[in-house]
């Protein structure tokens, strides 16, 4: 079990963590809102982005083959991994063949899925994170708490302490420029001495075999150009049909994610270094990871999950994520997208409580740049979680089914679908409901911070009849 519900109170009772997330999410929400101030322009751009991803996902198998063919023709080696274990083995094989002892990494959530750093360390290869946020949490031996801003759970003071403890010659300072300069100094050496660079992929263009990588620190460009070997890791859904389709996505992604009109760096990688070129790696490899995504693709409704461009806007706007933070979700992808993706990749038996941990407030649906119907998918996964044999679409379907709950809803249906039963029950409850003790099951959870709901004495049905409203 992922035990999201059990872990939530730990974060809720950490005032520093609550403050860090609240402040950061408030900032991100207002920056994004400023980018999409014109509702008509937002609607039009969003439609283009959503359609680009919907078309790509609908043709996923053939586009992947096209991507492989184009990349291969461009001189990029393409590898297929069905599982994270296979992906790790592929990466290790490439690195060992090249005799690599140290890799420098750009940000990659797929590598988090693979737990690649840990795996490589076990085989004597050092992996250094070069994205500043990733570098910070690597120093802290923590996992990312956000898919775009991995160390968003930490404040300046916490980072200052971490740097003082870990970087030689740097005392405690909260001067952001000094902290950044210190990290830069350390990382410059790592870049210069790395045997290989590993990166993620934001969009892969099937038409041209181009790998698009966006970033703000230049670390992505250095990781993919300076070392002699570049390995790109990508989930099979990060596709676009054409180069034209990249345009709306490049606009939607940074504006949704961090409220930037565009990222500082946009890298488009189409081949290794060509004869006569002055930079670039001698070899480029692309590892395509499935890890459950084909199963998601197989269901026409759930398939919409694969449109995700990993902007993180859904978590930035999520009232639950803002309060519990990313680590409460335990798996790689937190927030609303994690609540629909994790149970599909890991199984409802592992993460089946996550789809239930939402008020279905639709805040995520409102801001998703590719129109993923997150709330409807949460309901679909709730349905799968309590109905065994409903379909084979999701691993662990029915794992949250209980006789007690099933019978409760049958009883609910009987009462609400039979007017006589409903009338009888509500008249009774209206009169006797206030006698329910505050410590009764369910009422106990409610009254932790609230008074008991007050039953009215007479139902609206009765009052409406008294006032003559029920006559046709």
Partner 1 sequence: MSDPARLRRPETVYFFGTCVIDLFYPGAGLAGMELLKRQGLRVVFPPDQSCCGQPARNSGYLDEARAVALRQIAAFPNDWPVVVPSGSCAGMMKTHYPDLFEGRPEYSKAKAFSARVFELTDFLVNVLDIKLEDKGEPVRVTWHGSCHSMREMGVVDQPKSLLRQLSNVTLVENPREKECCGFGGTFAVRQPEISAAMVTDKVAAIEETGTSQVLSGDCGCLMNINGALEKAGKAIHGRHIAEFLLERTSGQGGK
For partner 1, the binding residues (CB under 8 A) are: 5, 8-9, 12, 18, 319-320, 323-324, 356-363, 365-366, 376, 379, 381-387, 409-410, 412-413, 415-419, 422-423, 426, 429-430, 433, 442, 445-456, 458-465, 467, 469-472
Tokens of 429: 């409850």
Q: How far is the CB of 322 from partner 1 (least distance, A)?
A: 9
- β-strand partners of 214: 266
**88 vs 426, beta carbon nearer partner 1:** 426
Q: How far is the CB of 142 from partner 1 (least distance, A)?
A: 22
Q: How far is the CB of 450 from partner 1 (least distance, A)?
A: 3
Tokens of 34: 């400023």
**363 vs 370, beta carbon nearer partner 1:** 363
Closest CA relative to residue 287, chosen from 60, 90, 69, 59: 90
**172 vs 469, beta carbon nearer partner 1:** 469
- Cβ neighbours of residue 60 closer than 8 Å, sequence gap 6 or more: 236, 237, 239, 297, 306
Burial 105-137 (b: 16+ CB within 10 A, else e): bbbbbbbbbbebbebbeeeebebbbbbbbbbbb
Dihedral through CA 4, CA 10, CA 16, CA 21, nearest 10?
Answer: 10
User: Using CA atoms, how far apart are residues 30 and 367, in angstroms rounded to an integer?
Assistant: 12
**39 vs 124, beta carbon nearer partner 1:** 39
Q: How far is the CB of 354 from partner 1 (least distance, A)?
A: 11
Q: How far is the CB of 294 from partner 1 (least distance, A)?
A: 24
Q: How far is the CB of 429 from partner 1 (least distance, A)?
A: 6
**58 vs 379, beta carbon nearer partner 1:** 379
- β-strand partners of 368: none
**283 vs 379, beta carbon nearer partner 1:** 379
C-alpha distance from residue 413 to each of 347, 387, 417, 461, 462 (Å): 29, 17, 6, 19, 22
Q: How far is the CB of 49 from partner 1 (least distance, A)?
A: 20
Q: How far is the CB of 440 from partner 1 (least distance, A)?
A: 11
Angle at 123 between CA 144 and CA 138, to 5 degrees: 20
Would residue 151 be called left, alpha or beta, if left means φ above 0 and alpha means ψ between -120 and 50 degrees?
A: alpha
Strand order in the sheet with 203-205: 239-240, 203-205, 210-215, 265-269
Q: How far is the CB of 261 from partner 1 (least distance, A)?
A: 24
Q: How far is the CB of 3 from partner 1 (least distance, A)?
A: 13
User: Using CA atoms, how far apart are residues 289 and 198, in angstroms rounded to an integer?
Assistant: 14
**266 vs 379, beta carbon nearer partner 1:** 379
**294 vs 447, beta carbon nearer partner 1:** 447
- β-strand partners of 288: 80, 234
The owner of tokens 């676009």 is 240
**279 vs 449, beta carbon nearer partner 1:** 449
Q: How far is the CB of 471 from partner 1 (least distance, A)?
A: 7
**184 vs 450, beta carbon nearer partner 1:** 450
Report the SS3 class of residue 8.
helix
| 379: DSSP letter | H
Please give the full DSSP string across 97-164, using - where no structure is assigned. HTT--EEEE---HHHHHHTHHHHHHHTT-EEEE-SHHHHHHHHTT---SSSSSTTTT--HHHHHHHHH
Q: What is the CA radius of gyration of the chain?
A: 26
**271 vs 383, beta carbon nearer partner 1:** 383
The dihedral sign for the CA sequence 298, 302, 303, 305? negative
Q: How far is the CB of 317 from partner 1 (least distance, A)?
A: 9
Cα 208 versus chain centre, distance: 27
- Cβ neighbours of residue 388 closer than 8 Å, sequence gap 6 or more: 397, 398, 399, 401
**243 vs 415, beta carbon nearer partner 1:** 415
């Amino acid at each position: 079990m992922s035990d999201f519900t059990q872990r939530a109170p730990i974060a809720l009772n950490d005032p520093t963590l609550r403050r860090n997330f609240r402040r950061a999410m408030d900032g991100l929400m207002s920056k994004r809102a400023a980018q999409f101030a014109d509702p008509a322009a937002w609607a039009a751009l969003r439609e283009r982005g959503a359609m680009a991803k919907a078309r790509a996902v609908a043709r996923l198998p053939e586009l992947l083959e096209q991507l492989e063919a184009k990349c291969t023709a461009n001189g990029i080696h393409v590898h297929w991994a069905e599982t994270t274990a296979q992906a790790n083995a592929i990466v290790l094989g490439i690195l060992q063949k090249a005799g690599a002892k140290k890799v420098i990494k750009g940000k990659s959530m797929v590598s988090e899925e693979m737990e690649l750093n840990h795996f490589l360390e076990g085989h004597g290869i050092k992996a250094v994170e070069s994205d500043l946020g990733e570098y910070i949490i690597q120093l802290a031996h923590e996992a990312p708490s956000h898919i775009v801003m991995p160390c968003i759970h930490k404040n300046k003071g916490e980072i200052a302490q971490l740097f003082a403890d870990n970087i030689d010659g740097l005392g405690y300072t909260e001067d952001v420029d000094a902290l950044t300069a210190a990290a830069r100094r350390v990382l410059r050496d790592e870049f210069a001495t790395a045997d290989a660079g590993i990166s993620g992929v934001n969009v892969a263009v099937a038409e041209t075999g181009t790998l698009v990588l966006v970033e703000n620190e230049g670390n992505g460009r250095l990781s993919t150009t300076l070392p002699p070997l570049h390995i790109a890791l990508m989930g099979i859904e990060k596709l676009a049909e054409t180069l034209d389709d990249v345009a709306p996505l490049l606009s939607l992604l940074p504006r949704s994610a961090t409220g930037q009109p565009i990222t500082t760096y946009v890298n488009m990688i189409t081949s290794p270094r060509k004869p006569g070129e002055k930079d670039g790696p001698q070899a480029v490899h692309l590892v395509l990871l499935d890890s459950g995504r084909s199963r998601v693709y197989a269901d026409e409704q759930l398939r919409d999950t694969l449109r995700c461009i990993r902007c993180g806007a859904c978590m930035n706007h999520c009232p639950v994520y803002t309060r519990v933070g990313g680590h409460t979700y335990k798996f790689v992808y937190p927030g609303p997208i994690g609540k629909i993706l994790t149970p599909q990749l890991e199984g409802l038996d592992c993460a089946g409580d996550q789809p239930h941990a939402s008020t279905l407030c639709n805040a995520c649906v409102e801001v998703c740049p590719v129109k993923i119907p997150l709330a409807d998918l949460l309901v679909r996964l709730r349905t799968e979680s309590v109905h065994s044999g409903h379909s084979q679409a999701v691993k662990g379907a029915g794992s949250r089914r209980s006789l007690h709950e099933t019978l409760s809803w049958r009883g609910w249906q009987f009462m609400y679908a039979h007017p006589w039963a409903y009338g009888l029950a509500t008249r009774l409850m209206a009169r006797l409901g206030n006698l329910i003790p505050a410590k009764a099951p369910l009422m106990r959870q409610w009254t932790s911070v609230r008074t008991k709901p007050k039953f009215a004495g007479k139902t609206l049905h009765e009052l409406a009849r008294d006032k003559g409203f029920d006559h046709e």
